[in-house]
Chain A
Amino acid sequence: MVFTTIVNCVRARGPDEFWRKRRIFKLAAHYIGRRRNCYTVAIKIVHRALVYATKGRQLRKQDITELRNARIIAGCEQHGLNFNDLREGLLRCNIMLNRKTLADLAAWEPYSFKALTDIAKQKTKEDGFGSVKDLQAPVGVITRGMSK
C-alpha cells in the first residue's frame, strides 16, 4: 500500500536557506577548516568579524588623528613652541590649515613648517598670549606691527 498523506505531514523548510547561508559563507571564504564550511561555526565568527569592522572604522579615524597630532607636536616642540600656541597663532593670522596639512608639512616640508612656527611665534609675542613667555622673536618675520 502507498500512503500518500504521510508526505504532506513532512515539514518543509524555507526555500531560501541555501542563499541565506551562502551570504555568510561568501564572507568566510578565507577562513580555515570548519569555520569556512560549517554554518553554525561560521556565523559566529563572521558576526564577530563584522563587529570588528564596524568598530575599526572609528579606531582608524582615532589612530590617524593621533598620528597627525604626534607629528605636529613633534615639529613645533623642536622649534620651541606649544601645539596650542601654534594653533592659536595661526588662527589669529587667518592661516586656517587643518591637522592633515600641518602634519604633512611637518613630515615632508620641514622648512615650510618652520616658517609657520615662526609666524605663530611672532604672533604670540605681539599679542602677548601663550604659555612660553620668554620666547625670542624669530628671525625673518617682518610684520611692521600690522599683524593685528
Chain B
Amino acid sequence: MTTNKSLFLIPKFITTPSQNGVGRYVCQLQRVVLKFCKNHGSSRGIREFIEYDLLNFANKNPEVVVYLKPRRHRGPVIKAEYLNGDDQIVFCHNNTREEIAKWLNLLRTQSGNHDGTRLRKLWHTDYPSIQGPWTPYTFRDPALNLAEFPNEELSRPLDQPKTATEELDELFKKQQESEVAESSEVK
C-alpha cells in the first residue's frame, strides 16, 4: 500500500515502459553490480549469496549482466542499472542471504528506480470509457442539430403542465376524429 507519509515523496501515476508485458516482456534491469568485502562480517550474507545463489540467478536471467566487485574494507552494496538509465543503490550491510535474494528479485522485476515516489492511483487505463463518456448531448434528441433558435417548443420549461386551452384543443381533436371514424363506419 502506498502512503503519503513523507511530504517529499514525488507523486506519480503508474506507467509501464512502452506497454511492457502486454505483448512481449523485456526485463528492464540492464546490469547489476555486487560490491562486497572478502573479509568483513557485514558482507557475509552477500558472500553466501554469491557462493550459492548467484549462478542460478545469472542463468535464469540471461538478459541481466552481473558484475562482481570485491572491495576490501568497504560495505556491501548492490547497484542496479535499468534500461531507462535509472540507478538504484541498495546498502545491504548485514543482510542475510535470503534478504539479498529478495532485493535482487525486486530489482529484477522493477521497471526503474521508484524510490522516493508514491503512486497516486493503483490503476491506469488508456480507455476509461467503452460506451463513450457522458456529454450533454448523449441523451438529447438528434433533431436538436437541425433546430433553429429561437424555438418556441424547445424554450418551454420541461415541467410546465398543459394549459387548459391546450387540453381543450386536444379533446376537440379527439372528438372530431372519433366522429369521422363513426361516420366512415356507418358508410
Chain A interface residues toward B at CB < 8 A = 27, 29, 75, 78-79, 106-112, 114
Give the 3 A-B residue pairs with the shortest CB-CB distance, closest first: A108-B129, A110-B134, A109-B131
Q: Which residues of B contact A109 (CB under 8 A)?
A: 129-131
Dominant secondary structure of chain B at its interface with chain A:
loop
Which of A27, A107, A108, A110 interacts with B139 by CB under 8 Å? A110
Q: Is B7 an interface residue (CB 8 A)?
A: yes
Minimum C-beta distance from A107 to chain B (A): 6
Name B133's closest neighbour in chain A (CB-CB): A108
CB <8 Å contact, A27 and B128: no
* Residues on B with beta carbons closer than 8 Å to the beta carbon of A29: 8
Contacting residues of chain B (59-74) with chain A, CB-CB under 8 angstroms: none
- B138 within 8 A of partner (CB): yes
A112 to B133, CA, bound (A): 11
SS of A interface (majority): helix
Give me 20 A-to-B residue pairs in the complex whose CB atoms sit less than 8 angstroms apart, sorted by A's number.
Answer: A27-B7, A29-B8, A75-B134, A79-B139, A106-B134, A107-B133, A108-B128, A108-B129, A108-B130, A108-B131, A108-B133, A108-B134, A109-B129, A109-B130, A110-B132, A110-B134, A110-B139, A111-B131, A112-B131, A114-B139
Contact status A107-B134, CB under 8 Å:
yes
Most buried by A among B129, B130, B131: B131
> Judging by beta carbons under 8 Å apart, are A110 and B131 in contact?
yes
In this complex, what residue of B is CB-closest to A57? B4
Q: How far is the CB of B129 from chain A (nearest CB, A)?
A: 4
Identity of the chain B residue whose Cβ is nearest the Cβ of A71 in the assembled complex? B134
Residues 114-148 of B contacting A (Cβ, < 8 Å): 128-134, 138-139
**Closest Cβ–Cβ distance, residue B174 to chain A (whole Å):** 20
Q: How far is the CA of A110 from the CA of B128 in the complex (A)?
A: 12
A108 to B138, CA, bound (A): 11
Enumerate chain B residues within 8 angstroms of A111, measured Cβ to Cβ: 131
B137 CB to closest chain A CB (Å) equals 11
Residues of B within 8 A of A110 (CB): 131-134, 138-139
Q: In whole Å, how far is B3's beta carbon from the nearest beta carbon of chain A?
A: 12
Q: How far is B6's CA from A27's CA once the two chains are assembled, in angstroms?
A: 9
Q: Across the interface, which residues of B come within 8 angstroms of A27, CB to CB?
A: 7
- In the assembled complex, the Cα of A27 lies from the Cα of B7 at a distance in Å of 7
Q: How far is B134's CA from A27's CA once the two chains are assembled, in angstroms?
A: 42
Closest A residue to B136 by CB, please name it: A78
